[in-house]
Amino acid sequence: MIASPLPSTEDKPRRHEGGADIVRIGGVQFTWPGRNPFTLAIDGFSLAKGERLLLIGPSGSGKSTFLSLLAGIAKPDAGKIDVLGCDIARLDGAARDRFRAEHYGIIFQMFNLLPYASVIDNVLLPLSFSPSRKKRAEARGGGRTEAARLLGNLGIEPSLIESGSAASLSVGQQQRVAAARALIGSPEIVIADEPTSSLDRNRQQAFLDLLFAEVEAAGATLIMVSHDESLAGRFSRVADLAEIAQASRGGR
């Protein structure tokens, strides 16, 4: 069920059941270089801890660009992107990479698994880059135990966990492995860029059931992009990117 109406940029930051803001963006400008440059401007946006935001909008409207800014993959030309009290717009590339590894689990559109690595090694990868996620996984019995638990909960057969390589998996299985990799070590923010686009309706719903259960168990905040507005009822908030950001093309 959608908790409340879609916000305008003038709205006060929305809070989710008392959760404090985990993200606050203000005055952001970002332009992709090129002959017909695409610019995204975000006057103000905030996200409360524990929210599950579904981000919708037409193809090419800038949803992935928005996620890249939110995750510190792209650096804005101006403005503030405050995440967990840190303005990531002020960090250099290496510091943003470290921050992302510590605090974000990301399910990319193409999954980005290491094809020749085993399923479990793909899931364990983020722990090599994040001391705090490693610590949290260790507190739950160790990285391998936690990876196997997540993979099992996400419906990966035990026989595939140690021996299967990512390249040998179906698209649906790759997606589940990508979700386990995003969730291991309980990052505060989980970002999913159209993770269900290659699944049929039943598998889509089953995947979301598993994803939401794990996100909730970890107390994480979820931002998911999808073209499928019928998923809206499952999220605490739904926003069209056009309500959050102004997109423009060409010289400014």
Task: Please name which of 58, 106, 102 lies closest in space to residue 83, comparing C-alpha atoms.
Answer: 102
* Among 63, 134, 176, 237, contact with ligand ATP (rule: CB under 6 A): 63
* Among 23, 25, 50, 62, contact with ligand ATP (rule: CB under 6 A): 62
Q: Is 60 in the site for ligand ATP (CB under 6 A)?
A: yes
Task: Please name which of 167, 248, 235 lies closest in space to residue 6, comparing C-alpha atoms.
Answer: 235
- Which of residues 138 and 240 has its CB atom nearest to ligand ATP in the complex? 240
Q: How far is the CB of 138 from ligand ATP (least distance, A)?
A: 36
Q: How far is the CB of 22 from ligand ATP (least distance, A)?
A: 22
DSSP, residue by residue, 85-136: TEEGGGS-HHHHHHHHHHHEEEE-TT----TTSBHHHHHHHHHHH-HHHHHH
| Cα first-last separation, the chain | 39
Q: How far is the CB of 38 from ligand ATP (least distance, A)?
A: 4
- Which of residues 30 and 160 has its CB atom nearest to ligand ATP in the complex? 30
Q: Is 61 in the site for ligand ATP (CB under 6 A)?
A: yes
- Which of residues 28 and 180 has its CB atom nearest to ligand ATP in the complex? 28
* Among 38, 118, 132, 198, contact with ligand ATP (rule: CB under 6 A): 38
Q: Is 64 in the site for ligand ATP (CB under 6 A)?
A: yes
Q: Is 57 in the site for ligand ATP (CB under 6 A)?
A: yes
Residue 83 to residue 99: CA distance in whole angstroms: 10
Tokens coding 155: 């419906």
Task: Please name which of 59, 81, 79 lies closest in space to residue 68, comparing C-alpha atoms.
Answer: 81
* Among 59, 159, 170, 230, contact with ligand ATP (rule: CB under 6 A): 59
Q: Is 108 in the site for ligand ATP (CB under 6 A)?
A: no
Instruction: Please tell me the count of residues contacting ligand ATP according to CB under 6 A.
Output: 11
Say how many CA atoms lie within 13 Å of 70 toward its Cβ: 31
Q: How far is the CB of 71 from ligand ATP (least distance, A)?
A: 13
* Residue pointed to by tokens 């179906």: 170
Q: What angle do CA 129, 176, 235 make, to 5 degrees?
A: 95
- Which of residues 127 and 224 has its CB atom nearest to ligand ATP in the complex? 224
Residue 56 to residue 228: CA distance in whole angstroms: 8
* Among 14, 28, 65, 99, contact with ligand ATP (rule: CB under 6 A): 65
Interacting residues toward ligand ATP by CB under 6 A? 32, 34, 38, 57, 59-65
